[in-house]
Amino acid sequence: MTEALRARYGFLPFAPPEGSEALRPLLDRRVTRRFTAQEVPDGLLRMVVAGAQSAPSKSDLQQYSIIAIRGHATRARIAQAIGTMPWIAEAPVLLLFCGDLRRNRLVGARAGLPNANDSVDSFINATADAALALGFAVMAAEALGLGSCPVSYVRNHLDLVRDLCALPAGVFPLAGLALGWPAARNEVSARLPPEVVLHAERHADADPAAIAAYDARRPPAKPRYPEVHGAAPGGCRWSENVARQLSVPERPGTRDWLAGHGIALG
């Protein structure tokens, strides 16, 4: 556990308490971007989905759907559109996690009751449901020896994903999850120190020195948006890449797409 904590944070933030060994696999979670050609049996895939469905859900509304994309041609089209993530096509399965407001709209219609909660709050709830399900699917996959890689870039191609997966009004893609047997596992990604994320009673802005120390613990990464901010031959620290990415508008048409796809944001 000591080494797992050290790997997760880049230093040992606290001594692991007795009885915490069960969390070691969770702390050791790593992203997988290289997969073998071995298929994922239906039984294991269903167990991953069972793990996803074990996530908490707002008011037990369960406002999400999961689409299993096994067809190589479909995965290849998504990978080609994104252009920088070949593992989407190489993984034997791509799970598409969607917020799903449609199912419960139909439930209400069959009961003869109007939906008085079609609002931005419902959109947030469905997004949280789908995100929690994705997180639990990642943990389930790890427990079964599978590797996975979340793919938020499916939202860069909303029309393509909608058409390929026949998403009706009220169902929107949140993220994909490439899933398969790992050919290699990435290194553990060091996270922000606990004192930056955990607040006592009241929110407090992060100490810049803590962010700087975190930057120093992580190796420089490929610079984001070099076409906008210029090349960085030595790579960029975490905070510089955050600033680079957030300075460039991403997916500016998402709100309009959602509104045109039956998602109320009022």
pTM summary value: 0.96
Full DSSP string of 119-135: SHHHHHHHHHHHHHHHH
Is the same domain home to 215 and 150?
A: no
CATH number at residue 36: 3.40.109.10
> CA angle, corner 156, sides to 146 and 191, nearest 5?
50
* pLDDT for 144: 97
Same-domain pairing of 119 and 216: no
Based on the fold, state whether residues 155 and 227 are members of the same structural domain.
Answer: no
Q: 129 pLDDT exceeds 90?
A: yes
* Number of structural domains in the chain: 2
pLDDT for the residue 77? 98
169 is in which domain, residue-wise?
29-187
Name the nearest CA neighbour of 65 among 181, 147, 146, 165.
Answer: 165
Note the pLDDT tens digit of each residue in 76-90.
Answer: 999 999 999 999 999
What is the per-residue pLDDT across 244-260, written as a single tens digit (0 to 9) for each?
999 999 999 999 999 99
pLDDT at 120 over 90: yes
Q: What percent of the chain has pLDDT over 90?
A: 98
Residues 149 and 199 reside in one and the same domain? no
Distant-in-sequence, close-in-space partners of 2: CB < 8 Å, separation ≥ 6? 12, 15, 16
Cα three-residue angle 110-49-44, rounded to 5 degrees: 140
Mean pLDDT of 8-14: 96
Average pLDDT over residues 33-60: 98
Q: How confident is the model at residue 266 (pLDDT cuts 50, 70, 90)?
A: confident
* Mean pLDDT, the chain, integer: 97
97: pLDDT confidence band, cut at 50, 70 and 90? very high
End position of a domain, from candidates 187, 205, 229? 187
Residue 47 lies in a domain: yes
Strands (E) across the chain are located at: 34-35, 64-69, 93-100, 147-151, 171-180, 182-184
Residue 143 lies in a domain: yes
